């Protein structure tokens, strides 16, 4: 009997299902939080944004003593937009 191709064997569909399950699990670990921003002046000015995800790479760099609640009238961080 001839071996089945990956598409015929259903492995592609199985891989896609595994990928989606892992993606959904990862997304569920990302938590949207109340808006926060840094109290320090940002350079360049286009980095003067607020964050609303606890796992935003840029937001994680804000030290606790410089973290303030709210959006301060700033635009949303592009990384937070990507996170959803």
User: Would you state the pLDDT for residue 70?
Assistant: 97
User: Would you state the pLDDT for residue 84?
Assistant: 87
Does 64 reside within a domain? yes
Residues 76, 50 contacting (CB under 8 angstroms): yes
Does 3 reside within a domain? no
Does 41 reside within a domain? yes
pLDDT digits (tens, 9 = 90+) for 6-41: 445 455 566 777 776 666 555 545 688 999 999 998
Bridge partner list, 37: 68
pLDDT digits (tens, 9 = 90+) for 45-81: 778 999 999 999 999 999 999 999 999 999 999 999 9
Tokens of 3: 């071996």
Q: How many structural domains does the chain have?
A: 1
Q: Name residue, tokens 């709210």.
A: 70
Does 83 reside within a domain? yes
Name the pLDDT band for 43 (thresholds 50, 70, 90): confident
Q: What share of the chain is helix, strand, coil (3-state, %, to 5)?
A: 45, 20, 35
């Amino acid at each position: 009997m001839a071996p089945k191709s990956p598409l015929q064997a259903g492995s592609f569909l199985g891989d896609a299902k595994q990928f989606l399950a892992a993606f959904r699990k990862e997304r569920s670990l990302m938590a949207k939080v109340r808006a926060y921003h840094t109290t320090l002046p940002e350079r360049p000015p286009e980095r003067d944004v607020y964050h609303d995800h606890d796992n935003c790479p840029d937001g994680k760099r804000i030290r606790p003593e410089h973290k303030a609640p709210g959006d301060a009238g700033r635009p949303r961080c592009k990384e937070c937009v990507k996170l959803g």
